[in-house]
C-alpha cells in the first residue's frame, strides 16, 4: 500500500489533501502531533477507514495525544501509529476495526539486529511493527530490505534520510505492509520521501514480484536524473521483473560492494563519481580507457566492468571529419573526457576550459589538446562549442556557460545537459542560427547502449524514444 503522509498543519488543508489525492493513495497519514487545530470529526469524515493517525509526540500545543487517538479508535479509524509505550496503553481500547502500529525510529543509525526492534514493537500489543532506521550509506537500505524478506510478521520497514529513498521505493514488494509518500506539491514529513504520483508512474512497484532485479544510477546528486523514469518505462513496457532506482552515493566503495553482493546487474554512474569509479573496477572496456571515466557498470558474476556509453553516443552525434575545425570544450569531468577523446580522434583542433584548472590541464595533456583558463573562454575563436558542465541543468535553468554574443559565427553548439531538454544555451544557439546537438539526443544514445550492455540484446530505441517524449 502507498500511504500519503500529509504534512499540512491545519484541518482544512488536511481534508483538502485527502480529497485531492483520494484516487492515488491507499492510505492517508494524519500527524496528530503536527495539526494545530485538529477537528477529529472532520478528518474522520474525509475517509475513516483509509486514515492512519500518527502521534510520535505531544500535540502542537503540548497536550497528550492519547485522548485523540482513543477517540479515533472508538470511532473506528483504520490505523493508529504511536511509540510502543503509548500503544501499550491504547491496546486496552483496541477494537477489531482499528489496527495498532508501534513505531520505533532509530534516527542516527541502522543497527544490525532489526528483528530485535520489531520484537520491542510487538511486545506492546501492536498488530504491526514499524521499524525506521537512518541510512548513512547505501548498504543500509539493503540491510532493511534483507530483513523484510526474512520477516514473517506484519511489519513496515524502510530507511529514513536522503540516502534511504531506495528502501522506501521497494519496501512493499520486499515485504513491508506499506510505504510512505509525500504530496506532489507540498512539503515532506520526512527526508527521502518520494512524491506519490512519481511512485505510481515512475516506479509502479505493484508489478514487481520477488525476486526482482535491481538496476540504478549512482551519483550525488541523483534527483535530477531522468534515467529512472526512462528505464522503468521500458521495463514496464517489456514486462521485465526489474526496477531502476536512484542511489544517492557518497561512499563509492560501499556502493560497489552492494553491486557485487545483491547482485545488481547494471549501474549508471553520474557526477561526481565517473572518474573515481574508473579507478576501482575490476576492468574497463578497451574503448573506455582513453576517457579515464565510466558512466556504466556491468556486473559479470561479481566482476565489475566499466564502460563509457557517453563516448559511444558522442561518436554517433559528432561529425566524423573534424579536421581544421576549432572546437572548444567546457568542462573536465567524466562526460568531458569521453567527448574530448572523440573530438581529438576525429581531427578537431581542441581547446579545453574547465573551472578546475588542474583537471582541465590534465585532460588537455592526456588527449593532446590546448588549454585556456575558464575566465578566458569567451575570448577563444571557435567553430564548435561543447558544454560538458552541469551549468544550465535543473534547477539552474536560467544559467549558461557562455553569453549569446560569442555564438555569432559559430557553426555548431553541443550541450550535454538534457534536463531541461532546451537549455538556455540551446535556445541562444538556435536564435543565433547555429546547428545544435542536444543533450537529450546524447542521453538517448548512451541509454540505448547501456540497455544493450546489461541485457545482451538490441535496445528498443523506439520504446526509449517514446518514453523520453512522454517525459518532456
Active-site residue, from 209, 274, 435, 466: 274
DSSP helix/strand/coil, 285: coil
Identify the band that residue 224 occupies on the pLDDT scale cut at 50, 70 and 90: confident
Identify the band that residue 469 occupies on the pLDDT scale cut at 50, 70 and 90: confident
pLDDT higher than threshold 90 for residue 287: no
| CB 340, CB 363: distance < 8 Å | yes
pLDDT for position 290: 76
pLDDT for position 110: 97
Q: What is the pLDDT of residues 304-334, one digit of tens each?
A: 999 999 888 988 999 999 999 999 999 998 8
pLDDT for position 471: 82
Known catalytic residue: 431? no
Q: What is the pLDDT of residues 363-414, one digit of tens each?
A: 999 999 999 999 999 999 999 999 999 999 999 999 999 999 999 999 999 9
Residue, of 335 and 122, whose pLDDT is higher: 122
Grid coordinates belonging to 81: 501509529
* C-alpha to C-alpha distance for 427 and 430, rounded to whole angstroms: 5
Section 340-361 average pLDDT = 95
* C-alpha to C-alpha distance for 366 and 347, rounded to whole angstroms: 15
* pLDDT mean across residues, the chain: 95
| CB 28, CB 3: distance < 8 Å | yes
pLDDT higher than threshold 90 for residue 470: no
In a 10 Å sphere around its CB, with 0-12 CB exposed, 13-18 middle and 19+ buried, how is residue 319 labelled? middle
pLDDT higher than threshold 90 for residue 105: yes
Q: What is the pLDDT of residues 361-377, one digit of tens each?
A: 999 999 999 999 999 99
Identify the band that residue 356 occupies on the pLDDT scale cut at 50, 70 and 90: very high
pLDDT higher than threshold 80 for residue 472: no
pLDDT higher than threshold 90 for residue 150: yes
**Domains, in order of start, for the chain:** 2-207 (3.20.20.70), 231-311+457-471 (3.40.50.10860), 315-443 (3.40.50.720)
Virtual CA dihedral for 103, 108, 109, 111, nearest 10 degrees?
-50
Task: Tell me, rounded to whole angstroms, the distance of Cα 404 from its chain centroid.
Answer: 33
pLDDT for position 370: 97
* C-alpha to C-alpha distance for 229 and 168, rounded to whole angstroms: 17
pLDDT for position 96: 87
pLDDT higher than threshold 90 for residue 191: yes
pLDDT higher than threshold 90 for residue 176: yes
| Nearest one of 151, 149, 162, 217 to 190, comparing CA atoms | 162
Section 121-133 average pLDDT = 98
pLDDT for position 22: 95
pLDDT for position 103: 98
pTM: predicted TM-score of the whole model, two decimal places: 0.91
User: CA distances (Å), 220 to each of 30, 152, 162, 244, 251, in order?
Assistant: 32, 35, 11, 16, 10
* C-alpha to C-alpha distance for 133 and 135, rounded to whole angstroms: 6
Virtual CA dihedral for 22, 24, 27, 32, nearest 10 degrees?
-70
User: CA distances (Å), 270 to each of 22, 248, 297, 309, 310, in order?
Assistant: 36, 10, 11, 12, 11
Amino acid at each position: 500500500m502507498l500511504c500519503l503522509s500529509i504534512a499540512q498543519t491545519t484541518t482544512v488543508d488536511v481534508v483538502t489533501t485527502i480529497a485531492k489525492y483520494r484516487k492515488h493513495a491507499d492510505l492517508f497519514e494524519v500527524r496528530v502531533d503536527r495539526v494545530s487545530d485538529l477537528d477529529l470529526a472532520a478528518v474522520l469524515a474525509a475517509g475513516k477507514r483509509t486514515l492512519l493517525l500518527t502521534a510520535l509526540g505531544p500535540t502542537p500545543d503540548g497536550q497528550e495525544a492519547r485522548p485523540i487517538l482513543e477517540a479515533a479508535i472508538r470511532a473506528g479509524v483504520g490505523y493508529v501509529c504511536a511509540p510502543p509505550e503509548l500503544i501499550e496503553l491504547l491496546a486496552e481500547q483496541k477494537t477489531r476495526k482499528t489496527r495498532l502500529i508501534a513505531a520505533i525510529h532509530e534516527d542516527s543509525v541502522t543497527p544490525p539486529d532489526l528483528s530485535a526492534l520489531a520484537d520491542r514493537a510487538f511486545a506492546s500489543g501492536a498488530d504491526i511493527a514499524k521499524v525506521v532506521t537512518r541510512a548513512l550509506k547505501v548498504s543500509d537500505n539493503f540491510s532493511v530490505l534483507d530483513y523484510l524478506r526474512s520477516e514473517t510478521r506484519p511489519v513496515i520497514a524502510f530507511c529514513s534520510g536522503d540516502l534511504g529513498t531506495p528502501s522506501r521505493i521497494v519496501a512493499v514488494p520486499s515485504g513491508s505492509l506499506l510505504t510512505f509518500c509525500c504530496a506532489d506539491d507540498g512539503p515532506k514529513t520526512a527526508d527521502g520521501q518520494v512524491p506519490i504520483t512519481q511512485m505510481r508512474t515512475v516506479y509502479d512497484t505493484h508489478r514487481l514480484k520477488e525476486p526482482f532485479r535491481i538496476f540504478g544510477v549512482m551519483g550525488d546528486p541523483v534527483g535530477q536524473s531522468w534515467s529512472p523514469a526512462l528505464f522503468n518505462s521500458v521495463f514496464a513496457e517489456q514486462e521485465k521483473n526489474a526496477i531502476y532506482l536512484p542511489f544517492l552515493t557518497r561512499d563509492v566503495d560501499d556502493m560497489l560492494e552492494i553491486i557485487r553482493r545483491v547482485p545488481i546487474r547494471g549501474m549508471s554512474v553520474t557526477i561526481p563519481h565517473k572518474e573515481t569509479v574508473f579507478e576501482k573496477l575490476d576492468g574497463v572496456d578497451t574503448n573506455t580507457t582513453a576517457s579515464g571515466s565510466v558512466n556504466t557498470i556491468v556486473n559479470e558474476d561479481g566482476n565489475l566492468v566499466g564502460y563509457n556509453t557517453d563516448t559511444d553516443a558522442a561518436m554517433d552525434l559528432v561529425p566524423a571529419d573534424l579536421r581544421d575545425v576549432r572546437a572548444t570544450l567546457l568542462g573536465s569531468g567524466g562526460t568531458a573526457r569521453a567527448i574530448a577523446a572523440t573530438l581529438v580522434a576525429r581531427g578537431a583542433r581542441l581547446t579545453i576550459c574547465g573551472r578546475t584548472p588542474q583537471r582541465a590541464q590534465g585532460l588537455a595533456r592526456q588527449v593532446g589538446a590546448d588549454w585556456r583558463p575558464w575566465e578566458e573562454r569567451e575570448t577563444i575563436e571557435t567553430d564548435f562549442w561543447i558544454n560538458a558542465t552541469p551549468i544550465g541543468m535543473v534547477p539552474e535553468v536560467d544559467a549558461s556557460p557562455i553569453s549569446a554574443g560569442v555564438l555569432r559565427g559559430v557553426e555548431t553548439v553541443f550541450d550535454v545537459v538534457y534536463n531541461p531538454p532546451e537549455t538556455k544555451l540551446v535556445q541562444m544557439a538556435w536564435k543565433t542560427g547555429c546547428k545544435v546537438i542536444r543533450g537529450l539526443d546524447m542521453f538517448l544514445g548512451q541509454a540505448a547502449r547501456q540497455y544493450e550492455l546489461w541485457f545482451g540484446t538490441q535496445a528498443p530505441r523506439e520504446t526509449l524514444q517514446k518514453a523520453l517524449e512522454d517525459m518532456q
